[in-house]
Structure 1
């Protein structure tokens, strides 16, 4: 959250965090004194130094690849530490031309001292582990897609393209039983090519097995009491299966932390950019500032509204959503289908219409998730 600095301290510490080192700079806003220190990745050493400077000091570091580990360790040692949203920190051009660890840490300390740090919500260990699980599933999907592409391109280089057809003349799809039978029947004159083919086939099968295994783990996690009601309620939206619903719930953590649907859509970067001045009101492409993982998930889910009907989605076996959330989801499905049809009728490009649908889907996700959360 962004606001005035804490009034019970006059010392603010910026931390420039790397995999093996941490640069710390403290700023006393009353005296203007600046101190700096360098550490290995050692939360205990950082905490001891911060306490020696001022036991009430407040610390900040940028969100990024180092995650929340340092924040949790420092908080456990009694140090007040927050993670600042890097996408919300705008450096003056002069500072960008003098980039080093000390300057970066001092910039963070000064931003925190004047209340210009937007704090990132820190998930607890269970929520973060659930997030990691769905992100691993996304990686497994990407690995499977790349493995299939490598196999297809290898065969194409040898002039081999699957072109079997049904009795009605329709081409059979790739990665079906018929396609696999065709692949398994291929024999090359050169032994090396046969070895390469075997390698690519095994890579696809191994990736498919890993994807299936992770889907099972995500499903098991989603059935835990903490998540189940929200996951089952979000599954009432078309285009949202168990894995997608789990993804949305695990990443959001708590839907109540967002003020409204608009702030949730902004968090995933699905709000339009704006370039307005005076009487000119100009809106552009989406900001893409925020959780790109969920943005991709929502954009993919939105494609379902191109062909689905506005009828409510039937419940799956064992699905137990909140009744009020289910009714609200039914309204959302109808609204999203009508919205997509209206956009296409106006001549809006298909991709642009899909992103607009994804943005509205994000709003319905927030509303349905919040209703289930508060039930």
Structure 2
């Protein structure tokens, strides 16, 4: 599966022969993946391994498919085999085929899927880092604003004294 925010490109490949059995492009909904699998012959649908490159869907798509009792793998993009021609001309259709071939031949490394607790910790750490980055940017904007308007604080910024000094500044009415 080549997965994006709004669409999935799906490719079914016979592992034994390497022959493409079925392909489609659909909206990004797990129901469409299930429908695609159900349209495969009974013999083919019994041995389905689903896979997609690590990216925007993170673990959510994987976890949903595992809940539905499908074997699903998240492939590390840097470990997948890809020929030079594919590097020059990339599209979703070809990416789905490449992912299917990598799954069938085992020429990839799977991404370790975190359990729920570890995933929650990872998300919490991401939020903290984002908030710290935004706080730093906001402080830089305030200091630049103060300097542009001719005010200068000679001591260490962002202390209680500095915050008190900021609150006492007499800026023009519009500012």
Q: Is 1:30 matched with 2:13?
A: no
Distance in 2, Cα, partners of 1:76 & 1:185: 58
Verify the 8 A CA contact 1:17 1:61 in the aligned structure 2: yes
The answer for the alignment partner of 2:136 in structure 1 is: 145
Q: Which of the two has greater strand per residue?
A: 2
Tell me the TM-score normalised to structure 2 length.
0.89
Residues 177-212 of structure 1: per-residue CA shift (max 9 Å, x gap): 111121111102x2112xxxxxxxxxxxxxxxxxxx
Q: Give ranges in structure 1 of 5+ residues lacking alignment.
A: 1-14, 164-171, 194-375
Q: Is 1:75 matched with 2:66?
A: yes
Verify the 8 A CA contact 1:44 1:77 in the aligned structure 2: no
Verify the 8 A CA contact 1:44 1:74 in the aligned structure 2: no
Deviation at 1:59, TM superposition (A): 1.5
The answer for the alignment partner of 2:157 in structure 1 is: 174
Verify the 8 A CA contact 1:51 1:57 in the aligned structure 2: no
Distance in 1, Cα, partners of 2:168 & 2:81: 59
Q: Which of the two has greater helix per residue?
A: 1
Q: Is 1:192 matched with 2:165?
A: no
Deviation at 1:123, TM superposition (A): 1.4
Distance in 1, Cα, partners of 2:16 & 2:75: 23
Distance in 1, Cα, partners of 2:79 & 2:170: 57
What is the DSSP-based 3-state SS (H/G/I as helix, E as strand, rest coil) of the residue aligned with 2:174?
A: helix
Distance in 2, Cα, partners of 1:143 & 1:103: 39
What is the DSSP-based 3-state SS (H/G/I as helix, E as strand, rest coil) of the residue aligned with 1:22?
A: strand
Q: Give ranges in structure 2 of 5+ residues lacking alignment.
A: none
Tell me the TM-score normalised to structure 1 length.
0.43
Match of 2:93 among 77, 102, 111: 102
The answer for the alignment partner of 2:82 in structure 1 is: 91
Residues 148-198 of structure 1: per-residue CA shift (max 9 Å, x gap): 0000011111222211xxxxxxxx31101111121111102x2112xxxxx
- What is the aligned-residue RMSD (CA, Å)? 1.6
Verify the 8 A CA contact 2:18 2:101 in the aligned structure 1: no
Kindly report which structure 2 residues correspond to 1:1-375, keeping only aligned pairs within 5 A, or say none: 15-34=1-20, 35-53=22-40, 54=44, 55-89=46-80, 91-163=82-154, 172-188=155-171, 190-193=172-175
Verify the 8 A CA contact 1:84 1:117 in the aligned structure 2: yes
What is the DSSP-based 3-state SS (H/G/I as helix, E as strand, rest coil) of the residue aligned with 1:36?
A: strand
Distance in 2, Cα, partners of 1:127 & 1:174: 37
Would the alpha carbon gap of residues 43 and 89 (structure 1) be closer, same or farther in structure 2, given more than 3 Å must change? Answer: same
Verify the 8 A CA contact 2:13 2:100 in the aligned structure 1: yes
What is the DSSP-based 3-state SS (H/G/I as helix, E as strand, rest coil) of the residue aligned with 2:138?
A: helix
What is the DSSP-based 3-state SS (H/G/I as helix, E as strand, rest coil) of the residue aligned with 1:181?
A: helix
Residues 277-317 of structure 1: per-residue CA shift (max 9 Å, x gap): xxxxxxxxxxxxxxxxxxxxxxxxxxxxxxxxxxxxxxxxx
What is the DSSP-based 3-state SS (H/G/I as helix, E as strand, rest coil) of the residue aligned with 1:65?
A: coil
Deviation at 1:97, TM superposition (A): 1.8
Verify the 8 A CA contact 1:47 1:79 in the aligned structure 2: no
Number of equivalences: 170
What is the DSSP-based 3-state SS (H/G/I as helix, E as strand, rest coil) of the residue aligned with 2:11?
A: strand
Residues 236-276 of structure 1: per-residue CA shift (max 9 Å, x gap): xxxxxxxxxxxxxxxxxxxxxxxxxxxxxxxxxxxxxxxxx
What is the DSSP-based 3-state SS (H/G/I as helix, E as strand, rest coil) of the residue aligned with 2:152?
A: coil
